[in-house]
Structure 1
Amino acid sequence: MTDRITSWHSNPSRPKFTPPPGAVDAHCHVFGPQSQFPFSPKAKYLPEDAGPDKLFALRDHLGFSRNVIVQASCHGTDNSATLDAIARSNGMARGVAVVDPDISETELEALHDGGIRGVRFNFLKRLVDNAPKDKFLEVAGRLPDGWHVVIYFEADILEEMTEFIDNIPVPVVIDHMGRPDVTQGPNGKDMTAFRKLLDSRDDIWTKVTCPDRLDPAGPPYADFIAAVRPLVEDYPTRILWGTDWPHPNMQDVLPDDGQLVDVIPQIAVTEKLQHQLLVDNPMALYWAED
């Protein structure tokens, strides 16, 4: 693996939609810089550097105030790059880590002190080689107070994930709604199954994110909007939003982050819903002490 991937737009548009004051981009990543934070030898992709300076410049360009930085799979369980970005944010970032199942309580507390508020379990086979549910559950039972578990999977394994999710003893956040087929519409098989999951416990949250990944027709993301808007309206206190910048493995089509932001008022159509999505909910989950 020698070619490094650029997966983000070099000149994103400025969105027409103005996020409310205090808005949080609750799903983004940093890559490297490699010279300081080498990528994992198990990485399935090797991206160009996309460090905190670029991330915070994009935050300001899009009109956001805060970030939740999710550990990228290319960095494995070494969370140094994520922790460095949080430390450089002047208190305006929190993080989600990827950890070795054998991590100690002392190491978990150090992550907490560094601004981490959750751990991510990735079940995408193209990104990870092993996802041991039993060891994940053991880790979930040892997390610091106030943490949650983030889970990334695709819709075709939702049914087999149900028992595992039910046994997680802390709140759960599902990345990108479990990647449903949005062309099925709001009442399609995938979204119906996902709603059943949300209804199974009142502490399952989800990120209504990634129209660029989920809508094969591309902008203006009409199928995504049609499928997701009812979900936002029916679960207003359990939704989050993020850019997914720098869009891992999206090198074939570089999403315009300004266009992604302009989807927000089409899925959260009132000011109240927008405030819940972008301020109230992420602040409650990641800045509870504030």
Structure 2
Amino acid sequence: MPPSDALPTTGGFTKTAGWLDWYQGPARPRFQLPEGAVDAHCHVFGPGAAFPYAPERKYTPCDASKAQLFALRDHLGFHRNVIVQATCHGDDNRAMLDACQASQGRARGVATVRRSISDEQLQALHDAGVRGVRFNFVKRLVDFTPRDELMEIAQRIHRLGWHVVIYFEAPDLPELWDFFSALPTTVVVDHMGRPDVTQSPDGPEFGLFLRFMREHPQVWCKVTCPERLSSSGPPALHGQQQAYQDVVPFARRVVEAFPDRVLWGTDWPHPNLKDHMPDDGLLVDFIPQIAPTQALQQRLLVDNPLRLYWPELVG
């Protein structure tokens, strides 16, 4: 249910006008997740009273706590989470770290760090469960960070065995190609590089992204966020099981072409959605459409995230 535009969050913060709260009462998925499945892309927001939002943030979200995330994990049938640092917290990773440390080993983190971080601080993040850093190139969400700073960070975290998560929009890939290719780590692309799904998956824009993955075997992809990428409108317009169908051929193409380099996650609590808030149970039911066999589902949801975030558990 959409909140009041002016409803305050805890901690004295006021949500961005029009902000949609996450969906309460998600359905229990009909699709049975494989044992040990990982929600490999989700967030925590605050709570603001305990973990204040960054002064330089571009938006103020609703609170979305670790307890609420873990309750959703159990309801949907996941065993583990990968918690990605939210831009509204800047480089203050405390909310994400608190969730990882409270998970009893069932969560790993992706942090935001600056050049000024010390090696001792990086090691402390590692000990708390961080296994990657996120570089955000979406201009409406973050301010520009010089590429030499990002490359320096990538070189330093490479020593810890971490990877870099990159968030960008499809039209910007040609400009960013050389920088991404030069990163010394495994590189994980958020949300398939945000393709324009009104175009053909056989078209030049998505073809360039597929070529990027083919030519760079260190590049992985999150086949996430159909609710964010779809141009067909909210599920109410089509029936729940027919929602987001315009995203299916893009995601399925990536899963089938690169089965050992794909991840999936809910993106809970779904920041910055404008027209509807998805039912996370129905998002789970979307998975068999993009990974139609048990073998693909096992790689997408269990084997791949374990290799990247819990390698110590892989025989």
1:276 maps to 299
Supply the AA of the counterpart residue of 1:287.
Answer: W
Please give the TM-score of this superposition, normalised by the length of structure 2: 0.90
SS at match of 1:221: coil
- Matches of 2:160 and 2:139 in 1, distance apart? 30
Residue from 189, 203, 206 that aligns with 1:174 = 189
Supply the AA of the counterpart residue of 1:108.
Answer: L
- Matches of 1:256 and 1:266 in 2, distance apart? 17
State whether structure 2 residue 177 is matched by structure 1 residue 154. Answer: no
Supply the AA of the counterpart residue of 2:216.
Answer: R
SS at match of 1:222: coil
Give aligned-pair identity as a percent.
58
SS at match of 1:149: strand
- Matches of 2:78 and 2:123 in 1, distance apart? 28
Question: Contact 1:20 / 1:278 at 8 angstroms: preserved in 2?
Answer: yes
2:9 maps to none
Cα distance, 1:227 vs structure 2: 2.0
Range moving further from structure 2, 220-229 or 168-177: 220-229
Question: Contact 2:136 / 2:166 at 8 angstroms: preserved in 1?
Answer: yes
Q: Which has the larger radius of gyration?
A: 2
- Matches of 1:58 and 1:247 in 2, distance apart? 13
Aligned residues: 290
Cα distance, 1:156 vs structure 2: 0.9
Cα distance, 1:184 vs structure 2: 1.7
Residue from 137, 140, 148 that aligns with 1:134 = 148
Report Cα offsets for 1:216-270 as digits up to 9, x if no partner.
1144211101222121111000000000000011253111111111110000000
- Matches of 1:183 and 1:117 in 2, distance apart? 34
- Matches of 2:46 and 2:14 in 1, distance apart? 16
Residue from 201, 205, 229 that aligns with 2:220 = 205
The CA RMSD over aligned residues, in Å, is 1.2
State whether structure 2 residue 252 is matched by structure 1 residue 238. Answer: no
- Matches of 2:127 and 2:211 in 1, distance apart? 35
Moved over 6 A (4+): none
- Matches of 1:149 and 1:3 in 2, distance apart? 30
Where structure 2 has 5 or more consecutive residues not aligned to the other structure, the ranges are 1-12, 236-242
1:163 maps to 178
Cα distance, 1:15 vs structure 2: 1.2
Residue from 290, 297, 302 that aligns with 1:267 = 290
1:221 maps to 244
Range moving further from structure 2, 176-185 or 87-96: 176-185
Question: Contact 2:20 / 2:276 at 8 angstroms: preserved in 1?
Answer: no
2:117 maps to 103
Where structure 1 has 5 or more consecutive residues not aligned to the other structure, the ranges are none
Residue from 25, 33, 45 that aligns with 1:31 = 45
Please give the TM-score of this superposition, normalised by the length of structure 1: 0.97
